[in-house]
């Protein structure tokens, strides 16, 4: 698959992650967002990374579950 298609798939995954997050399915949302983030990092795509950060910012629960903390760990220190 070409890199353009993989990037588009990652952006779609982030859209779906936002939908899962809105529906309260945190584990699924952040698992999907993490996969998309990995694609963004592999292709050094600032657009994907920023969209992943936007997904993270949209969650504001009191104590983040494990999936959110794992996502935070992966996102921490990423500069593109």
CA distance 50 to 57: 10
Q: What is the pLDDT along the chain (80 residues), one digit of tens a residue?
A: 577 799 999 999 999 999 999 999 999 999 999 999 999 999 999 999 999 999 999 998 888 889 899 999 998 887 75
Residue 25 resides in a domain: yes
67 within some domain: yes
Q: What are phi and psi of 2, to 5 degrees?
A: -75, 160
Flag whether 80 is in a domain. Answer: no
Q: Quote the domain boundaries for residue 46.
A: 3-75
* Overall number of domains in the chain: 1
Q: What is the pLDDT of residue 20?
A: 96
**21 in any annotated domain:** yes
């Amino acid at each position: 698959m070409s890199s353009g298609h993989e990037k588009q798939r990652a952006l779609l995954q982030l859209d779906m992650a936002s939908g899962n997050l809105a529906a309260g399915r945190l584990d699924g949302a952040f698992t999907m967002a993490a996969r998309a983030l990995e694609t963004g990092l592999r292709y050094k795509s600032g657009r994907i990374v920023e969209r992943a950060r936007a997904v993270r910012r949209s969650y504001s629960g009191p104590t983040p579950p494990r999936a959110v903390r794992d996502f935070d760990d992966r996102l921490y220190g990423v500069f593109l």
